[in-house]
């Protein structure tokens, strides 16, 4: 008879490793995905800031803000890249006059609906004269 040792892992060893990997994934995944949501909000704020600067430059050149009909497409020449959608794939909302200012540039957040909290909250800028205010959760 041959006396040969088989090399490999037992079923129990494999199950222990799988359980450990599952526990680590359960701990790390929620932290990772919450950071993704926060970064999307930060990207939206940065894009809105760039759009606000482009609208202001348009006003300096044309002595008026783009109309609602012209929308943000009118400021395309003032942007370094093409007119972006928000991080959730929807176009930014541009209103003239705004509800609280001369104009507003808004993203309705992750859910795409007005209002909301957390990642679903509205993100934007309401501009009144020379003052700029961030619009979050429907308040200034």
Give which of 134, 133, 139, 89 is closest to 109, Cα–Cα: 89
Give which of 50, 130, 126 is closest to 138, Cα–Cα: 126
**Residue 19's Cα: distance from chain center in Å?**
34
pLDDT tens for each residue of 80-109: 889 999 999 999 999 988 888 889 999 998
Is residue 72 over pLDDT 80? Answer: yes
Average of per-residue pLDDT across 11-16? 90
**Element (DSSP H or E) covering residue 43:** helix 11-62
Q: What whole-number distance in Å separates Cα of residue 16 and Cα of residue 23?
A: 11
pLDDT over 90 percentage in the chain: 45
């Amino acid at each position: 008879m041959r006396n040969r040792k088989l090399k490999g892992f037992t079923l129990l060893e494999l199950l222990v490793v799988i359980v450990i990997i599952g526990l680590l994934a359960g701990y790390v995944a929620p932290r990772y995905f919450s950071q993704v949501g926060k970064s999307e909000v930060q990207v939206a704020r940065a894009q809105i800031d760039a759009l606000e600067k482009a609208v202001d430059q348009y006003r300096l050149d044309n002595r008026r803000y783009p109309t609602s009909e012209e929308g943000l497409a009118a400021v395309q020449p003032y942007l370094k890249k093409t007119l972006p959608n928000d991080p959730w794939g929807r176009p930014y909302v541009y209103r003239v006059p705004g509800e609280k200012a001369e104009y507003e540039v808004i993203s309705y957040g992750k859910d795409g609906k007005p209002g909301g909290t957390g990642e679903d909250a509205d993100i934007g800028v309401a501009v009144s004269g020379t003052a700029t205010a961030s619009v979050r959760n429907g308040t200034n």
